[in-house]
């Protein structure tokens, strides 16, 4: 499908614009919601802001949208300072977590609302509304009222409505969190397809790591109003900058180890370090479950890497196996076929793949399941 | 994931089937209770009205029927009595003015409080409900000096709207508040703002259309209050419909006239409110 959105009304191809935030801060009384945030979203890029609730991700989005005022800092869009511009003049499309369609308007009227405010002729307006609804696959539901649409359909219409005004920036505030798992995954992929098609610079806020990793060009992991790491999804996952990122994104085993030089020794295995400048001494290594492989052990030896399977969790194509190592437990992620050969109670030998790992020196070396 | 979803759904479906019989019995009992309450209260309200109507149709001797009392309302046979028409007109005008002012005052203020100054909402609610706790006579004592001042500039009974707007505040506030509670005002207005709507547009094109029913309720309550108001108008020496009806009944030797005028005013108000609510409902249906 060729998109009507890639071209503006005068027929020129449209490129996204760059969004810059410099030293953006926001306080709610004594609570610091956002602490001198610097973030640049490249033109046409989709950045997902990921983090636990209260980390400042939604505040960032609301400041960019102009729905709240920054205490300090600057926001520029395409080089233009919009820090003090009113929300209604910012030219941004926004999709909210709560269903936000106007209940008294049909899907078509909802999508056309922004165009009506821009005094676009009725015929053009209507045509565009239908085009937008086609883009989100809902042109047959154009004359339905929001209460006649499912949650997923409502969010699609909301997306069409946000895109109809050809916004400079698209802001998505956890648009999928009210939907059930299957619709969520579908709509997630669709948002990405549409965003690539339209080329609008996009900020996507979510607390769901899977969503962020699947959809974004870059993922920004936030904590306590600060950006912990901003990197492509694969880097955030395999080369986390901090132990918070490592533990927030994906499951992590915390294993006691000793750092010496470029490696950390964990249960007799030497693993390379993500950060070679880590000071030597005892530390906790963060090991991904998929870096751990298991093999049935019939020798009956006891060693640091031999244990007993205590639980197998079926996840579909893969299974998660919990192994008791005597002094700690460790999680391993295997294909379901492999896991089927290791029922609970069986003795297994572990291998840890030498992926670069991160160590955290702060907490005691206890395993977390 | 799909497996999890379908499991969740089926476990939700199943337990609904067993207690169906029990629920039906409970629903029947509830319906019976409803009809009982409806009948008792219906009789409680309708009997005095019927008695009043009957008495207004009483002839010269007990047990006979006559329309005399009703004719006397509209007949201008009392030379010193002004006709009813101006009183009806002034009361209707008062109702319209009061409704408009109450809505123009309350709707934007309540939306604004909900969006921007949540902490004010309790204080505002208290202020709006205050007139409910002040007896009319005390209100009149307080208002009298103000009305003395107003009378220097304007003698018309239309000036009663100042007092009526205050009297109507609690009812209109309650009605509008229920309407605002039913919609997600912050999200809808933020969505509209992000699409380029000014605050005025947000209120007129997004919020108000979604609370028509409650605006209508506020209008009906305010009109009912104005149509039935007697105390303040009488004590402040203004003439509205109620005062006019009262003076007709006082100036005639026929006791039935008191009742015919009361029934007439009731029917008048009832008809008006009926028209109002029907007009509003048609508008709602037109919007789907």
Q: Is the pTM of this model over 0.80?
A: no
Task: Give tens-digit pLDDT for B88-109.
Answer: 888 889 999 999 999 999 999 9
**Which overall architecture, per CATH, does domain B71-287 show?**
Orthogonal Bundle (1.10)
Per-residue pLDDT band for A204 (boundaries 50, 70, 90) equals very high
What tokens were used for A92? 């941004």
pLDDT above 90: percentage of residues in chain A: 41
Across the interface, whether the CB atoms of B197 and A182 are under 8 A apart is answered no
pLDDT(B74) > 80: no
Pair A259, A279: CB distance under 8 Å: yes
Chain A residues 264-323 with a CB less than 8 Å from chain B: 316
Nearest CB to B196 within list A88, A145, A182 = A88
Task: Give tens-digit pLDDT for B102-148.
Answer: 999 999 999 999 988 889 999 999 999 999 898 888 888 888 888 88
pLDDT above 70: percentage of residues in chain B: 85
pLDDT value, residue B78: 55
Does residue A93 sit at the B interface (CB-CB below 8 Å)?
yes
A110: nearest CA partner in chain B: B192
pLDDT value, residue B55: 85
Nearest CB to B1 within list A96, A104, A182 = A182
Across the interface, whether the CB atoms of A181 and B1 are under 8 A apart is answered yes
Pair B171, B221: CB distance under 8 Å: yes
How many other CB atoms are there within 10 angstroms of residue A29's CB atom? 5
Interface of B with A (CB under 8 A): 1-5, 183-184, 187-188, 190-198, 201, 206, 209-210, 287-288
ipTM higher than threshold 0.85: no
Pair A166, A115: CB distance under 8 Å: no
Average pLDDT score over chain A:
86
Task: Give tens-digit pLDDT for B179-234.
Answer: 999 999 999 999 999 999 999 999 999 999 999 889 988 998 998 899 888 888 98
Distance from CA of B44 to the nearest CA of A (A): 40
Across the interface, whether the CB atoms of B194 and A113 are under 8 A apart is answered no
Which of A238-242, B83-87, B116-120, B175-179 reaches the highest mean pLDDT?
B175-179
Using DSSP's 3-state secondary structure scheme, residue A11 falls into coil
Per-residue pLDDT band for A7 (boundaries 50, 70, 90) equals very low
Across the interface, whether the CB atoms of A316 and B1 are under 8 A apart is answered yes
Of A6-20, A118-132, A323-337, which range is least confident?
A6-20
DSSP string, A244-305: HHHHHSS--EEEEEEEETTEEEETTEEEEBSSTTPPSEEEEEEE-GGGEEEEE--S----TT
Burial of A242: CB neighbours in 10 Å, binned 0-12, 13-18, 19+: middle
Pair B76, B83: CB distance under 8 Å: yes
Distance from CA of B35 to the nearest CA of A (A): 32
Per-residue pLDDT band for B172 (boundaries 50, 70, 90) equals very high
Instruction: Give the mean pLDDT of A51-59.
Output: 90
What is the residue extent of each domain of chain B?
A: 2-56, 71-287
């Amino acid at each position: 499908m060729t998109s009507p959105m890639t071209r503006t009304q005068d027929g020129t191809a449209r490129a996204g614009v760059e969004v810059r935030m410099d030293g953006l801060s926001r306080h709610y009384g004594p609570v610091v919601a956002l602490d001198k945030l610097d973030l640049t979203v490249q033109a046409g890029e989709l950045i997902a802001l990921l983090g636990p609730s209260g980390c400042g991700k939604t505040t960032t989005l609301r400041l960019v949208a102009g729905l709240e005022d920054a205490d300090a800092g600057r926001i520029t869009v395409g080089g233009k300072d919009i820090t003090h511009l009113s929300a209604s003049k910012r030219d941004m499309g926004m999709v909210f977590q709560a269903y936000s369609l106007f209940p008294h308007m049909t899907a078509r009227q909802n999508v056309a609302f922004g165009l009506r405010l821009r005094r676009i002729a009725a015929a053009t307006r209507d045509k565009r509304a239908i085009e937008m609804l086609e883009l989100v696959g809902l042109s047959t539901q154009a004359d339905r009222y929001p209460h006649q649409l499912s949650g997923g359909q409502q969010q699609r219409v909301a997306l069409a409505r946000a895109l109809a005004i050809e916004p400079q920036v698209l802001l998505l505030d956890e648009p999928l969190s009210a939907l059930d798992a299957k619709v969520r995954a579908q709509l997630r992929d669709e948002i990405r397809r549409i965003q690539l098609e339209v080329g609008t610079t996009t900020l996507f806020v979510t607390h769901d790591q899977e969503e962020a990793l699947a959809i974004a060009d870059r993922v920004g992991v936030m904590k306590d109003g600060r950006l912990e790491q901003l990197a492509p999804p694969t880097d955030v996952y395999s080369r986390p900058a901090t132990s918070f990122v490592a533990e927030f994104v994906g499951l992590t085993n915390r294993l006691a180890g000793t750092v010496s030089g470029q490696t950390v020794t964990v249960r007799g295995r030497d693993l390379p370090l993500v950060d070679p400048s880590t000071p030597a001494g005892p530390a906790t290594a963060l090991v991904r479950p998929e870096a751990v492989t298991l093999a049935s052990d019939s020798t009956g030896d006891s060693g640091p890497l031999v244990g007993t399977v205590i639980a197998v969790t079926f996840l579909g194509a893969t299974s998660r196996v919990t192994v008791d190592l005597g002094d700690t437990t460790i999680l391993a992620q295997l294909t379901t076929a492999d896991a089927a050969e290791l029922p609970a109670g069986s003795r297994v030998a572990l291998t840890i793949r030498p992926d670069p790992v991160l160590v955290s020196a702060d907490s005691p070396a206890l395993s977390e399941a | 994931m799909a497996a999890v979803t379908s499991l969740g759904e089926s476990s939700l479906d199943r337990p609904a089937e067993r207690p169906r019989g029990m629920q039906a019995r409970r629903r029947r009992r509830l319906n019976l209770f409803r009809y009982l309450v409806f009948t008792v209260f219906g009789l409680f309200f309708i009997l005095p009205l019927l008695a009043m109507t009957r008495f207004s149709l009483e002839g010269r001797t007990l047990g006979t029927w006559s329309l005399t009392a009703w004719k006397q309302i509209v007949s201008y046979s009392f030379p010193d009595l002004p006709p009813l028409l101006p009183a009806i007109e002034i009361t209707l005008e008062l109702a319209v003015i009061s409704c408009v002012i109450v809505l123009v005052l309350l709707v934007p203020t309540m939306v604004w409080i909900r969006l921007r100054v949540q902490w004010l909402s309790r204080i505002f609610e208290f202020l709006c409900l205050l007139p409910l706790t002040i007896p009319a006579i005390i209100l009149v004592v307080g208002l009298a000096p103000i009305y003395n001042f107003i009378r220097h500039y304007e003698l018309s009974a239309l000036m009663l709207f100042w007092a009526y707007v205050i009297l109507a505040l609690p009812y209109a506030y309650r009605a509008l508040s229920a309407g605002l509670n039913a919609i997600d005002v912050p999200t809808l207005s933020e969505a509209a703002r992000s699409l380029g709507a000014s605050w005025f547009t947000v209120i007129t094109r997004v919020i108000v259309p979604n609370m028509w029913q409650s605006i209508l309720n506020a209008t009906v309550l305010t009109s009912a209050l104005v149509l039935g108001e007697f105390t303040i108008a009488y004590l402040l020496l203004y003439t509205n419909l109620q005062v006019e009806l009262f003076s007709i009944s006082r100036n005639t030797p026929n006791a039935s006239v008191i009742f015919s005028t009361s029934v007439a005013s009731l029917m008048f108000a009832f008809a008006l409110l009926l028209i109002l609510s029907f007009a509003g409902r048609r508008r709602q249906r037109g919007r789907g």
